[in-house]
């Protein structure tokens, strides 16, 4: 599991550093959007990179991608692919949930669409 977490953090850092080279490390509890400045396309790139490395896509069926707010959420999602236990991991289930970045980015898209329509 530690290797999985490290792999995920390394991929997240890789994408984060393309935009913010000054960031030297990322933590599992940091918000991908609010803290690390990622956008939905960046998350899509992270997931594509992880699918190439891990050969699984938890967002095809197991997990809603809109539930992903942190690197820790990503770890919990990928852990489900490698687990035979159908219950969610306790730490993922019990952790207090911060505001949903996935929904925020969808809200951004809706606002943008409304703005363009009103022009």
Partner 1 sequence: MKTKKESMTAERQVAIVSGGSRGLGRAIVADLLRRDMIVATFSRSKTPFIEQRLAADPQAESFHWASIDGADPQALAGFARDVLRRYGRIDALVNNMAVTGDGLLTMIRDADIHAQVSINLESAIFLTRACLKGMLPQGSGSIVNISSVNALRGHAGVSIYSATKAALIGLTKSLAVEVGPAGIRINCVAPGYFDSDMTSGFTDDQRARIARRTPLRRLGTVEDIANLIWFLLSPEAEFITAQVIAVDGGFVG
C-alpha distances (whole Å) from 88 to each of 2, 44, 114 are 17, 23, 37
What residues form DSSP beta bridges with 61? none
* Contacting partner 1 within 54-93 (CB under 8 A): none
Pattern 13-42, binding to partner 1, x per CB under 8 A? ----------------------------x-
* Contacting partner 1 within 39-58 (CB under 8 A): 41, 44-45, 48-49, 51-52
In the complex with partner 1, the residue whose CB is nearer, 59 or 69, is 59
Q: How deeply is 52 buried, as exposed, middle or buried, from its count of CB atoms within 10 A (0-12, 13-18, 19+)?
A: exposed
Q: How far apart are CA 4 and CA 59, in angstroms?
A: 16
Q: Cβ distance 74 to 27 under 8 Å?
A: no
In the complex with partner 1, the residue whose CB is nearer, 10 or 48, is 48
Rounded to a whole number of angstroms, the minimum distance from the CB of residue 96 to partner 1 is 31
Residues that bind partner 1 (CB under 8 A): 41, 44-45, 48-49, 51-52
């Amino acid at each position: 599991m530690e290797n999985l977490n490290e792999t995920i953090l390394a991929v997240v850092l890789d994408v984060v550093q393309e935009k913010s080279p000054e960031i030297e490390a990322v933590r599992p509890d940091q918000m991908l959007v609010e803290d690390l400045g990622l956008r939905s396309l960046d998350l899509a790139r992270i997931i594509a990179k992880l699918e190439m490395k891990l050969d699984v896509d938890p967002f095809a069926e197991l997990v809603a991608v809109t539930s992903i707010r942190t690197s820790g959420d990503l770890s919990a999602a990928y852990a489900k692919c490698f687990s035979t236990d159908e219950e969610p991991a306790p730490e993922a289930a019990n952790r207090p949930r911060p505001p949903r970045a996935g929904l925020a980015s969808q809200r951004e898209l809706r606002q943008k669409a409304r703005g363009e329509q009103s022009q």
